[in-house]
Structure 1
Amino acid sequence: MTKTVSFITENFDKYDPNSIDSYLNINGFTAVRKAITTLSSGEIINIAKSATIKGRGGAAYDTGRKWGQAAAVQGDNKVVICNADEGEPCTFKDRSILSKDPFRLIEGMIIAGYTVGAQNGYIYLREEYRHLKSLIKNAIKETMEKGFLGKNILGTNFSFHIHLHSGAGAYVCGEGSTLIESIEGKSGRPRIKPPYIKECGLFQLPTLVNNVETLAAVTAFIQNGTDDYIKYGTKLSPGTKIISLAGNVNKPGTYEIPFGITLREIIYDIGGGVVDNNKLKLCQLGGASGTIGSDSILDTPYTYEDLEKVGLIVGSGGILVVDDRTRVIDFVKSIQDFFIHESCGKCTPCREGNRQIAKIIDRFVQGTSGVNDLDTAERFANIMKNCSFCGLGETAQNVLLSAIKIFPDEFKRLEAVGK
């Protein structure tokens, strides 16, 4: 099996991202032409379903199903939002698409708009990617000048406009409804559901929200066909995934891999192994909200179903490698500090749960933990998981809960020190 592939990333470093003419020279906008002039909305939805591509922002919701639901919502004015917030630590694959292939993303947004019947699209760009604003603005401008955006695209009755909106650096704005609140000029806090975004989203209009990689992937398999896409991967997890490999590895970076290769192959063959030949202590998948695993899971295939069996997730595609120079409790503390900083404070389980758990973790770090501290932290973590208002609070304690399960001896030693 090939370790890395170039399907979604096939255009990387093959054209000048500042020039639409350069993009057209490598058959750019073939997918838009094909979609708008030869395919119906239903046919595009069926293509997405046949590719069985799951949303690449972390939630893994089936894209074809999501587009079908959005298209079925009645409304003369709909919206497509590209979630380019990418605030998940150890996740930077969307940045690679934005910087190396912005026109492919724009194609995906146009196709999504045509499919669901939207007239406007918004790219929500994280504040830390502000250096990419001029690149994206130029791509939008040149696309409009060439007639692929604006009124009556390619001589059809379809009109679509794309707008760029910058976030302010809040992790919680990666959640769909929170992102929408931010675009509307409000504080970034999640909405109550229902009503759902597909029915009442941005400016109370029917809204489709997709991740950067998801939209780029749709462009790729509309252009090249789903057969070329699903020849990669496995039966239950077909296709490819762009991953962000980071931490204590020799070759960190963005890689497109076929589903089915093992974590060992990703870390040691693609990533060149652990730095200085140190022993791998743990790896975290899916960003800060993802769970962790020890070296015992290295031979697990990187698929949705196989990772789930060992308590891990694909999530955003981040893979963080941590070697044995780091204590588990210190790693847990770094994640806890992050979530305290990023919690929006709207709901009590997340706001107070994070704060109280942080105090307990600090006692473990300092060697002053009490007899019941671990049980209390675990109880609070489960309350957060089951009662928090949005995904941040529900997943903030994934690291703690998985660490307690996988490295119980580490906590027992620390408890002994505290006594």
Structure 2
Amino acid sequence: MDLRAQRAAAAALKDRLAALGSSHHITNGAALVIDNATGGIIAWAGSNDFFDAANSGQVDGVTALRQPGSALKPFLYALAMAKGSRPSDLIEDAPIYAAGGHAPLNYDKTYHGFVRLREALACSYNVPAVRLVVKTGLAAFLAKLKDLGFDSLYKPAEFYGEGLALGNGEVTLLELVNAYAALARGGVWLPARFELESPAAPARRAIGRSEAYLITNILSDNSARAPAFGLNSAFNLPFDFAAKTGTTKDYRDNWAVGYTPEWTAGVWVGNFDGSSMRRVSGISGAAPALKEIALAMEKLYGSTPFKRPPGIRTVKVCPDSGLPPSSFCPSSMDEVFSAGNLPPGQCAQHSPAAESAARPSPAKLSVKFPSDGDIFRLDPQTPRAAQALFLKSAGAEGEITWTLDGKELAERGEKVPWPLEPGSHSVFFTEIRNGKTVRSGPARFHVVR
């Protein structure tokens, strides 16, 4: 252990718990930092105050069993990619009823339609995770978690059900941080230990090198997580940092785990008596403490960019279909893939055969503003009524009608104001030409708090 790191981790935990205060009913937390190269433990804070008997300060939160919530999702997505899924694949975020009549909900209580796997993981959507565990196999997912050192998950797969994808099994912070350290090493698991000289279990490959990189690339993608967490979340650091949160039912547990190639850190906050916190999620509860620990570790140990392993390729895809774009696609984006699992074919979603009678005209109508993929942030210091953007058209010749999120706007014209609303949005416009309705391509954008 490093006394400097230990003091930094304990101070970050104590400061965060003090900032949350009694109003959120949070009494304790734990933090752990591991050296990725050796598995050596750099810092271990088991509670906020060892001598605080009233809040069970002598319980060790690093080894206590708690439900991890969404913090297990990266390992599910890694398994899915090993079985042939890609970051650009579409998965449906719509109501689903799992075994036993359980209907999982997203944290924001809304559904987002078809989303790419990158967005589903980065934004931690619950419904796609349940669909994915059904597709990959519950037993296979549990086996993968055991490969990653989650020995606490000793019960059969049927005991956990599809809820395992949402973290309903109990694990320890030690197991969780060490599993993320395997991602940081490119998929190689090492035992975490205090004494490096003592014999230890041998290293083993738990995740393929390509899959580990793809997951790391997603978890360090600030733009991908912005629709759910905003552009300036606690994970937006001045160096490469891959991170994930977890929040359990009734706000009983908050988790945040992150890593660089050099070190991995994790934080849990909650109450040792199992009582619920008051509306504190992983991004607002544990993540700020993790941020402070990460900044301290970077000063002490440094950090380097994540290295792309051989066999990874960057390919342009259509954001709507996740497939290589055709000449009809209104936009494209870069995505990373394993060279042996590139997206097949070409996008047909925007081909003439797929267009309706209101397909884009030969004049190439387009939304001039906002641009596809834009992200806007609400200013907390400005009244909401004063925050708006102007929708602007290009290529139109006559009166145009705007449609945003499937609803026609009352105001017409080439420049129309729209009050900012949080969420993911899609906008296009139509005009009448020679008695026919022609339509622009859509522009998709996000508004974050």
Give the number of the structure whose residues are more often strand, by fraction.
2
Q: Which has the higher helix share?
A: 1
Question: TM-score of the superposition, structure 1-length normalised?
Answer: 0.28
TM-score (norm. length: structure 2): 0.26
